[in-house]
Structure 1
Amino acid sequence: MNKENQLVFTGIIFIAMAYGISRFSYGLLLPYFNGPLQMTNQISGLISAVSYLTYILGLLSVFTVFKNVQPRDDLLISALLSLFGLSLLVLSTHYMLFGIGVCILGFSAGMATSPFGYIIKEEVTYGYQDRSNAWLNTGIGLGLVIIGLVVFFFKGHWRYSYFTFIVLSVLITLVNYKKLPFVNMGHLNYKMDLRYIFYGRKLILSTVLLGIGTSAYWTYFQSYIYETDFKQWTSLFWVTLGLGGLLGGFAGRAFELFGLTRIHIFTGLSLAAANVMLILTQNSMLMAASTVLFGMIYVFSMGVYAFWSSRLYVEFPSMGIIITFVTLAAGQFLGTFFSGFILEVTGFRGLFIVYSILSLVTILFRPFAEELEEL
């Protein structure tokens, strides 16, 4: 394995820990711990929503508090916070402490969002950087596969599952400590000019809607399956979602073949379809297809919006990263905050139909014509 591929592999397993294992395991294990921890739908939705806010704070911290810190060290701090947050989840006997742990995990995931982008920019050959960044995001899918298999093995015993996640995270942290390179800090451009923020107003609106449209699926799709005849297979549905996420790594290649506008429209349509397919009928094959499609398109869309922002904010790449991920997280915060209340009123079918419509609206906010001339 050459140095560049080794770096991408190291990034994939780190993202598997920071996102898949640490951040998204909440939705998978929610049906198992909400009773013992005295959670209602509103409380679970609120905890998830606040974790999106801490995710934003973690993202911003890289460009403020930790702006003079090596990207490698940012990632190691993120890893230590993940381990601390996971430890709180294992020790929790009430939703308050559990919620604090989830919020810490949100902050750690935010810290892990941008440093790899800078490392790849310095260490990977120009022309292969978009593909490398797209493959990094497949770490989300890998993490989902891992946690699905772990939860299936422990048959819903969530404390054992989280303890296993801690062990795996320690191993991943050690690998990254050995393999992550130091980069030339002089090349990192943290400069921003706030006058240009709304130049990407369509990007902002689109990413907010994407965040809203995906939020209910992340938080409640497992809870929905748990109420069907297939509840014994809930963790395996999570595995299929993760397998779909691994396919999302082809976003870079799709961008080269079809262009930004086509794959942007495809993303919005597919996310809407995934939400509807989940509740259309209680057919295991259709529900599995929904999870594969959602996992693939979620990872795929992260690549799409990263490509778009990098071409909008050429002179201020840090601003492009912040705008993309902050607006995505803001949409997820809004969507998650209201999802618990919508669920109480409409039930699962109404919830996923509402969010499929919101996913569909993203296709109305496409790149400007003058932007396309440069894409």
Structure 2
Amino acid sequence: MSPALRIGAIGFGLIAVCYGFARFAFGLFLPQIDSDLGLGPSLSGIISGGSFAGYCIAIVASAVLTERIGARAVAVGAAIAAAAGMAGIALAPSPLILAIAVVVAGSSTGLASPPMAAAVAAAVRKSRQDHTNTVINAGTSAGVALSGPIALAIAGQWRLAFGAFATVAVVLALAAAVSLPASRGEQNAGGLPPMNGPVVRLISASFLMGAASTALWSFGGQLVSQQLGWGPTGTGILWTCIGAGGIAGAWAGTLVGRFGLDPVHWTFLGLMSASIIAVGSGIAAPALALIGGALFGAAYVMLTGVYLVWGTHALPDRPATGLMIGFLTIAVGQTAGAPLFGFMMAGTDAGPAVTCFAVVALFAGAFRARSATESAVAQPSKGTGKRFD
């Protein structure tokens, strides 16, 4: 098996478990968890924000640890954290214990992504790296898509679901220990990354996109439950549509290579905005809400792929750190966005919050991967893998 295929398969599975199960499945099961533990919208938002905050801390630690102790060890640690956090969710007797477990589970996603970028940089040939990275990144969608049918099959038994997810994470830890390279990246890497133009604009765009995405990642289940009257079956189908749509994110590297970062960025920000309205407005027909879910999944995973490529091109000698910057800032935006949406939703009906967050997604498009001045000064030759536009 080629390095690209081996690392791509393990990375896809690890991201599916950490992102699709450990992080985003909480939003799918939130109506049932709320019913059992009496959380309410405000506390739900705070807990969701705590998950994103745990991610923020973990992804910084992961980038540093990957450069010091290697990709394999950090990836195995990510899978173990996912297993521990999801086991804690399954057993949580109170909102406090649940909140702690959600933070631990959410931190696994921060640990998972940087070592995979480093593994790809170390073992996959240059021409295949963008494609391999974005295929791995699309594992999020597979996890989300699988969590929907699982929710349907077990008829709302969220504790059983998270127990099963924890078992899968243990299996992925073993697979990562056997299959991933122990690369530490550049021996002289370290310290803070340079705050050049592409990095600053990446931070701005990814923050706004991350904040906007919490409208559906954290509250999608509650929105369709409250506004469309959907039960666990409807929310499970919505989650399946989100995950299935997100598989399109595997082609982010291909689309960026053909059309450039900025056109792909703008296109999918527009789709994200439209999808938030379609799912959260409460006036759309059920079929349109499900289509909106699929568009949201495609847009979110495509945009994370865009920020992944953007970051690794901005810091080509430090791929784990380049990825960390974009993904960290997405999570910072989500940390801020989830509580804000929860408070807005608790104070009025959901309509103003949904509209506001759809507009925030569009604002992210104001930031370009490379300014016109930078494009005129530096025009990389074809095939270098350093192209921004």
Instruction: Provide TM-score, normalisation by structure 2.
Output: 0.91
Give 2:117's aligned residue.
117
Matches within 5 A, 1:56-75: 56-64=56-64, 67-75=67-75
Offset from partner CA, 1:75-108 (integer Å, 9 cap, x none): 1111111111111111111110010000011222
Which residue in 2 is equivalent to 1:147? 147
Question: What's the counterpart of residue 250 of structure 2?
Answer: 249
Answer with 332-341 or 313-322: which moved more. Answer: 313-322
Structure 1 residue 197: Cα displacement: 5.4
- How far does the alpha carbon of each residue in 1:51-98 deviate from its partner, in whole angstroms, 9 at most, with x for none? 211111111112445642121011111111111111111111111001
Q: Cα 1:188–1:250, aligned 2, differ >3 Å: closer, same or farther? A: farther
Q: 1:28 to 1:71 in 2, by over 3 A?
A: same
CA deviation after TM superposition for structure 1 residue 275, in Å: 0.7
Give the drift of 1:279: 3.4
Pick aligned residue for 2:350 from 348, 352, 361: 348
After TM superposition, what 4+ stretches of structure 1 lie above 6 angstroms from structure 2? Answer: none
Q: Return 279-288 or 210-219, whichever deviates more.
A: 279-288
Equivalent positions of 1:186-201 (< 5 A) are 187=186, 190-193=189-192, 196=195, 200-201=199-200
- Secondary structure of residue in 2 paired with 1:168: helix
Look up the match of 2:126: 126
User: Would the aligned equivalents of 2:122 and 2:185 in 1 still touch at CA under 8 Å?
Assistant: no
Q: 1:278 aligns to what SS in structure 2?
A: helix
Q: Does residue 287 of structure 1 match 2:289?
A: yes
Q: How does 1:250-269 map onto structure 2 within 5 Å? A: 250-269=251-270
Alpha carbons of structure 1 residues 314 and 353: separation in structure 2 relative to 1, 3 Å: same
Does the 8 Å CA contact 1:38/1:94 hold for their aligned counterparts? no
Query: 1:44 deviation in Å?
Result: 0.8
Structure 1 position 224, deviation (Å): 1.3
AA matched with 1:355: F
Change (3 A) 1:193 1:75: closer
AA partner of residue 372 (structure 2) = A
1:238 equivalenced with 2:239 (yes/no): yes
2:151–2:236 CA contact under 8 A, matched in 1 = yes
User: Which stretch shows the higher mean deviation, 270-279 or 58-67?
Assistant: 58-67
**Is the contact between residue 256 and residue 306 of structure 2 (CA under 8 Å) also seen in structure 1?**
yes
Q: Distance in 1 between matches of 2:187 and 2:308?
A: 17
> What RMSD, in angstroms, separates the aligned Cα atoms of the two structures?
1.9
* TM-score of the pair, normalised by structure 1: 0.94
Query: Which shifted more, 3-12 or 330-339?
Result: 3-12
1:294-328 deviations in Å (ceiling 9; x for gaps): 11111100111122223333455454333212211
User: Is there any run of 5+ residues in structure 2 with no aligned partner, and where?
Assistant: 381-386
Query: Relative to structure 2, which stretch is displaced further, 216-225 or 346-355?
Result: 346-355
Partner of 2:384: none
- 1:188 CA displacement: 5.4
Corresponding residue SS for 1:190: coil
**CA–CA separation in structure 2 for the residues paired with 1:27 and 1:213:** 15
Q: 2:113 aligns to what SS in structure 1? A: coil
Q: Is the counterpart of residue 97 in structure 1 residue 89 in structure 2?
A: no
> What is the total number of aligned residue pairs between the two structures?
374
Structure 1 Cα separation of the partners of residues 85 and 168 of structure 2: 14
Q: Closer, same or farther in 2 for the Cα pair 1:17/1:371, shift >3 Å? A: farther
Deviations 1:108-166 (A, max 9, x none): 21111200001011111111100000000111001011211111101111111112212
SS in structure 1 of the partner of residue 69 of structure 2: coil
Residues 47-56 or 188-197, more deviating: 188-197
SS of corresponding position for 2:339: helix
Give 1:179 shift. 2.1
Q: Deviations for 1:225-249, whole angstroms, at most 9, x for unmatched residues?
A: 2232432321111011100111111
Distance in 1 between the 2:198 and 2:241 partners?
Answer: 38
**Distance of aligned partners of 1:38 and 1:190 in 2 relative to their CA distance in 1, 3 Å threshold:** farther
Counterpart residue type for residue 212 of structure 2: G
Secondary structure of 2:310's counterpart equals helix
